Amino acid sequence: MKSGFVSLIGRPNAGKSTLLNQLIGEKIAIVSDKPQTTRTRILGVRTDAAGQMVFLDTPGIHRPLHRMNVRMVDQALDAIGTVDVLVLVVDAATPPGGGDRFLLDRIGGARAPVILALNKIDLVTKPSLLPLIEWYRTRRPFAAVVPLSAKTGDGVDLLVAELVAGLPEGEPLYPPDYLTDQPERVLAAELVREQVLQHTADELPFTTGVVLDQFDDQRSRGLVRLFASIYVEQPSQKAIVIGRGGAMIRRIGSAARAELERLFDARVYLELHVKVRPRWRDDERVLDEMGVSPRRR
């Protein structure tokens, strides 16, 4: 039996979280078309007849400008040297550039085999993949190159086969029904943030965060009561999130409630508050509450 750790690494918005959800078969990571959606390392486990794959979905590697981003990039870089297989997830619809060269440099000393996953092939033509593959192959050897679409699932089975081949033999590391290490409080807050990302303007994603203030679990009565704070950095951003007459915050709450009810399999009462906190991305306490873990020493 095969068993081991697999890290999904790449630049922001490469589709790592969508790929993780596809590999696991359950939604354990929020997704959006906004960069830097993933802010912390997410562990997801896939167990089948071939073995057990423990995936680490990491934040996109980028140049950090705030304490939050430093923590995010540190978590991604930490994962490079601690896994059995690395999967470099690349947006095949975007031409490679300086950020891709920087990422290749960072994984240059990786001891684990590296698989190149060319994601979003549903957005490109097959002939356009050939020069992209050549660009990467001239810069480092890869254990395999797998074109795929995390959104549609096309090619994901081929990636799984390559991963199984690269993992060591061993007993499962987690029970067969184990899916993720994400606490329900963190999952709930992230599902709210996902809807903030989906419904608000492009300038807001980097400056918004969600903290779950109260989690009243009454699932024995078929109810979960949640109270959450949405952090922004400026009063003008608070006005955007609330919307005219509270229309935007109601849309966010309604969409988030639907996702939360699927998560908890219960009715959800959700109360949202928008708070202005300048420079919250450099506030260590707030980052701790959001689960954006500091680098392990």
Instruction: Decide the pairing of beta strands 209-218 and 223-232.
Output: antiparallel
Which tokens sit at 63?
A: 């140049």
Q: How much is the pLDDT for 297? A: 41
pLDDT for 11 equals: 85
Query: How far, in Å, CA of 279 to CA of 209, rounded?
Result: 11
Domain 2-166, classified CATH 1.10.1740.10, yes or no: no
The tokens describing 139, both together, are 């810069």
User: pTM of the prediction?
Assistant: 0.81
Residue range(s) of every CATH 3.30.300.20 domain in the chain:
184-289
Residue range 184-289, CATH number: 3.30.300.20
Based on the number of CB atoms within 10 Å of its own CB, is 169 exposed (0-12), middle (13-18) or buried (19 or more)? exposed
- Residue 42: name the closest of 213, 283, 291, 215 by CA: 291
Cα 150 vs. chain centroid, distance in angstroms? 13
According to the model, what pLDDT value does residue 53 have? 95
Joined tokens for residue 9: 């690494």
**pLDDT at site 78:** 64
Is residue 218 within 8 Å of residue 225, measured between CB atoms?
yes
pLDDT (0 to 100) of residue 286: 78
Residue ranges, CATH 3.40.50.300, the chain = 2-166
d(CA 238, CA 269): 22
Which residues in 91-108 are b (16+ Cβ under 10 Å) and which e? bbebebeebbeebeeebe
Q: Are 86 and 104 in contact (CB under 8 A)?
A: no
Please report, in tens digits, the pLDDT of each residue of the chain (297 residues total). 899 999 898 888 899 989 999 999 988 886 776 655 565 678 899 999 989 999 988 765 555 545 555 555 565 566 666 789 999 999 999 999 888 898 898 888 788 999 999 999 999 998 999 999 999 999 999 999 999 999 999 999 999 999 999 999 999 999 999 999 888 888 899 899 899 988 987 667 677 889 999 999 999 999 999 999 999 999 999 999 999 999 999 999 999 999 999 999 999 999 999 999 988 778 778 777 776 655 444
